[in-house]
Amino acid sequence: MTSKARARNLGIPLEGTPGPYNAITDVSNVEVGLATIIEGKSVRTGVTAIHPRGKTDHDPVFGGTFSFNGNGEMTGAAWVDEGGFVEGPICITNTHSVGMVRDAVIDWQVKNTAMLQRWSCPVVAETADGWLNDMNGFHVKAEHVWQALEGAENGPLAEGNIGGGTGMICYEFKGGTGTASQRLPKKYGGYTVGVLVQANFGRRYQLTVAGVPVGQHITEDALFTNGENPFREQGSLIVILATDAPLFPYQLKRVAKRAALGMARTSSLGGNGSGDIFLAFSTANRGVAYPGPVLSSVEASELGCVQILPNDHLDPIFAAAVLATEEAILNAMLAAETMTGRDGLTVPALPHDLLQNVMRQYNRLSM
């Protein structure tokens, strides 16, 4: 568990009610593992692994993806959208390590008898850490992927310069790995939506925190504004959303789309250079990926085979996805620490005291 400050602890007035961990692991049985690689002056990278039902339960989950801006990669996304299932662990790393991570995931599945069928199309997503990390050095190895997969746990999660987010930059501050959750009131089903992000996007002047234009006040040490086009995007965002609500794949695609609104609440403009790709999955409806006898409608109803939340009940889920994504991005930045990496580049952390001062000027600090 990390003891680093998070947005709510600093008095940022965020909406909704989080789960006990305020993390994607508030969705029961979801496990997350992290491998962080920091070596010498130029290696700043890693791997994040998410097991939807835990590393020992290989039952596929319903899933859906959405590409808000496709200047990036999420392997296996075509099959998720075609077949409707996420059939194994989800990993996130740097852009040039996607192939290595994908191959290692398949090896892990083979050795753990964890494949639904004879072949696998693992979900591996990326953002580019090439400013701080020697991305062309291919420093992520199979053992790091296995470390993340085997070390995954449920419970509180570390954030910031860790896992796949180790070398990432967000709004020209240090970015990285962040997580958050929303728990709906009982009258709306009591469902949980959890989010994990790898945040590596945005320009400083855009940054908005709980409605306050923070990036226009904290302008020191911005990285990319020396005569460059201020609208040019410099990175990407991966969002993985989990829920225990009984949703079908087409509904999960709709949930995944709402991550773009959480991103927008921090004021990103979603530029051409940003790979913003999102995936949502549901841990409800166990066992539906496995073939069984063809049933009549009467037999199916008697068995209660599959549950689905009606579309008219989705609005609270959508709201939870938006709010948890926004908070996970902020948590990634607030947990991150100043880092010096490749070619001596130093990326500053978002200073908590200055952030609180700006929020106080707008009467938007709750402490």
Virtual torsion, Cα 317, 23, 46, 230, nearest 10 deg: 60
244 is catalytic: no
**What end-to-end distance do the CA atoms of the chain give, in Å?**
24
User: Which is catalytic among the residues 120, 236, 268, 282?
Assistant: 236
Tell me the backbone φ, ψ of residue 130, rounded to 5 degrees.
Answer: -70, -10
Rounded to whole angstroms, the Cα distance separating 119 from 289 reads: 15
Single out the residue of 366, 275, 278, 272 nearest to residue 322, CA to CA.
278
Question: Over the range 52-74, which residues count as b (16 or more CB within 10 Å of their CB) and which as e?
Answer: bbbbeebbbbbbbbbbbbebbbb
What is the arrangement of strands in the sheet containing 85-86, beginning at the earlier edge strand? Answer: 85-86, 61-70, 275-282, 236-243, 192-200, 176-183
Report strand pairing: 123-127 vs 90-94. Answer: parallel
How many beta carbons lie within 10 A of that of residue 137, not counting itself?
Answer: 14
236 is catalytic: yes
107 is catalytic: no
Rounded to whole angstroms, the Cα distance separating 130 from 333 reads: 18
CB-CB contact of 171 with 207 (8 Å): yes
Rounded to whole angstroms, the Cα distance separating 337 from 347 reads: 9
Rounded to whole angstroms, the Cα distance separating 341 from 339 reads: 6
Using a 10 angstrom Cβ sphere, with 0-12 exposed, 13-18 middle and 19 or more buried, the burial of residue 228 is exposed
User: Which is catalytic among the residues 244, 267, 276, 282?
Assistant: 276
CB-CB contact of 141 with 99 (8 Å): no
- 285 DSSP assignment: S
Query: Could you list the active site residues?
Result: 236, 274, 276
